[in-house]
Amino acid sequence: METEELVGRQVDQYHITSLLARGGMAEVYVARDVDLDREVILKVMLSTLVQDKSFVARFRREARTTAQLNHPNIIQVYGAGFTPAGRPYLAMQYVRGGSLQDWLVKLNRQGKRLATADTLSIIRQIADALHAAHRAGIVHRDLKPSNILLHPNGTPVLTDLGIAAVKSEMTRLTQTGSVMGTPHYMSPEQALGKPVDGRSDIYALGIILYELLAGQAPFTADSPLAVLHQHVHESPRPLLDARPDLNPLTFRTVEVCLQKDPADRFQTAEQLVVALQNASLEERGKTPTAVMPYPTPAPTQKTKPERQLWPWIAAAAAVLVVGVGLAYGFLRDNGTTAPSPTPIPTANMVIVTTVATPIVGPTALPVAQPTTDTADTAVPPTPIPPTATPIPVPTDIPAIITGNVAAIRLASPPTIDGDLSDWPAGTAVLSAYDVFHQDSWDGSNDADAYWRLGWDAANLYIAVTVLDNIHVQIKSDEKIYQGDSIEMQFDTDLNGDYNTLLSPDDFQLNMSPGDFQSVPTAFYLWQGNDGRYTPAAWQGIMMASRPLADGGYIIEAVIPWRNFSITPASGMRIGLALNVSDNDSVGTAVQEMMKSNVETRTYEAPYTWGTLTLQ
């Protein structure tokens, strides 16, 4: 194979410092972006594959598609180009914590496993990433633990989305009717060489969830062909046998993911996210009340293999023999991680030491004895669908009027359900300053907003009570509801500066109570420090609201700290403004009246800040 020495050379703005891995499709290098002064990963296509121009074009097209996905749990693609020898490359985010596969191997050696709460958190975040990818028309097709990278703080990142589609194309060009994937995580339809969609990714993620919970994959055998046969014909080992301590919703979620027929699984990754949130609540001893329409599949039974299906599986096995380098060889190409895992972080994740019994299997982990998980978890509390029944106006609002706000450290997180009874007693903050009003409109100063804020190691919690005699909402487009709304603006670096423009460290959350029952999550917006709006749910932000008896409302929200790229600590201060907008007339503009907690704020200069201090 013709080689191109790249270590020590500069390709475009990337100075290549070392070769990290070489697989069946690409070489993976560590490089430094000299323009932005940061380390990146360069994936450079092997020279033997460059001759196929259509393949190169597909590689770049998929890279562009992946680069447009703006999600905290999807690998960031920074750019693409060609080496001096004409080999295409991708510049990608460098995730330093190792892959989930690395962690599984290390935990196996240490006789440990991840706590249930952290397992559900990781899988929920990857399910949310799949939801974003599927909405963009991207199906992964080769989801496995080595394609899930982990930041040192435990936040998972899904990688190889675009490359998976390219590998599928390359396998298709090799042999008609072929399959592509890794046998232990392949769906039955993949094993049979049938067309796949996002439900195949849900199956693969269910396999990973089972493996993390049980300590071994549900299907193991001595050959890839035997594993494929199990996926198509056999029931998985009962998860109950390995984990009798789990709650029913956790068992149910795994069961639905692993159904043989795609129609019997969760139909979207978004449904799986909700199911995992419910399971997480139940594992924490809370009662989920969010409605989850689980599919009702036919009873799973072991069946004898049907002879007419064996030619399909035999063809799949033949392809695996020819293309095992494609299915497995790119395992190390997923190495946007260091070659060996860093020490397993414990700040946000619980590692449970187990009394281990060895299990025979490809990624064997010890069988865990029943344990109780006790630590902060990165899973935001599940929002409870609110009721339209008005609740009384709270009477415990000893409000203060100040631009400077404090958030109290919460011993236990509140349930996000529009009910403040589980919040500790504390001083609320009044948004009393008139930022904007329209004089020709009657009643421009009839609303007030009282804010409570709390925090823990994983999340920032928000509760706001809006006193308002008329609640108006107008369904607009898929950006936000016009009418009554709330926004929070954060400035993570400048400690209460009076800058009048959004800076690279600024963030904004827009939320609305809607009609208290059917506001889609797409109408809650998060503006990141790149200035782009995305649905808040994509960032793991959860909200719920309830009406008050006098026409006002209560709204609660939780924002994972990872969205700010900061680690919270007592005494930390960031810039903050708390704003409420009110409409009393149907059909008018969004802001007939806007109030803020910051006295210096105006409608013309909305980015002036108070401060938020973590107590």
**Hey, how many other C-beta atoms are within 10 angstroms of the C-beta on 358?**
12
Structure tokens at 62: 């998929």
Convert the pLDDT of each residue in 217-242 to its tens digit. 899 887 777 788 889 998 898 899 88
Task: Give pLDDT, residue 53.
Answer: 75
- Angle among Cα 254, 259, 260 to the nearest 5 degrees reads 150
Task: Give pLDDT, residue 142.
Answer: 86
Task: Give pLDDT, residue 50.
Answer: 79
Q: For residue 443, name the pLDDT band (cuts at 50, 70, 90).
A: low
Contacts of 122 (CB under 8 A, 6+ apart): 100, 114, 148, 150, 154, 156, 212
Mean pLDDT of 516-529: 63
pLDDT(167) > 50: no
| Residue found under tokens 């009394």 | 355
Mean pLDDT of 149-168: 73
Q: What is the CA radius of gyration of the chain?
A: 26
Structure tokens at 495: 């400690």
Average of per-residue pLDDT values in the chain: 74
Query: Among candidates 271, 261, 252, 11, which has minimal Cα distance to 128?
Result: 271
Strands 485-491 and 506-511: antiparallel
> Which positions are catalytic?
142
Q: Which helix (H) or strand (E) holds 156?
A: strand 156-158
Residues 346 and 227: their CA atoms lie apart, in Å, by 34
| Residue found under tokens 């009477």 | 395
Residues 308 and 306: their CA atoms lie apart, in Å, by 6
Mean pLDDT of 596-606: 79
Q: For residue 66, name the pLDDT band (cuts at 50, 70, 90).
A: confident
Convert the pLDDT of each residue in 305-358 to its tens digit. 333 333 333 333 333 333 433 333 333 344 444 433 333 333 344 444 332 222
Q: For residue 383, name the pLDDT band (cuts at 50, 70, 90).
A: very low
Convert the pLDDT of each residue in 466-494 to its tens digit. 888 777 776 554 444 567 888 888 888 75
Higher pLDDT, 456 or 511: 456
Task: Give pLDDT, residue 293.
Answer: 59
Structure tokens at 507: 């963030």
pLDDT(259) > 90: yes
Convert the pLDDT of each residue in 396-426 to its tens digit. 777 777 788 899 999 888 888 888 888 887 7
Q: For residue 271, name the pLDDT band (cuts at 50, 70, 90).
A: very high
Has this prediction a pTM greater than 0.85? no
| Residue found under tokens 């590692």 | 351
Q: For residue 32, name the pLDDT band (cuts at 50, 70, 90).
A: very high
Mean pLDDT of 494-520: 64
Residues 42 and 334: their CA atoms lie apart, in Å, by 11
Q: Is 103 in a helix, a strand, or coil?
A: helix
Task: Give pLDDT, residue 207.
Answer: 95
For the chain, list the domains and their CATH numbers.
Answer: 10-92 (3.30.200.20), 100-353 (1.10.510.10), 404-614 (2.60.40.1190)
Residues 368 and 352: their CA atoms lie apart, in Å, by 8
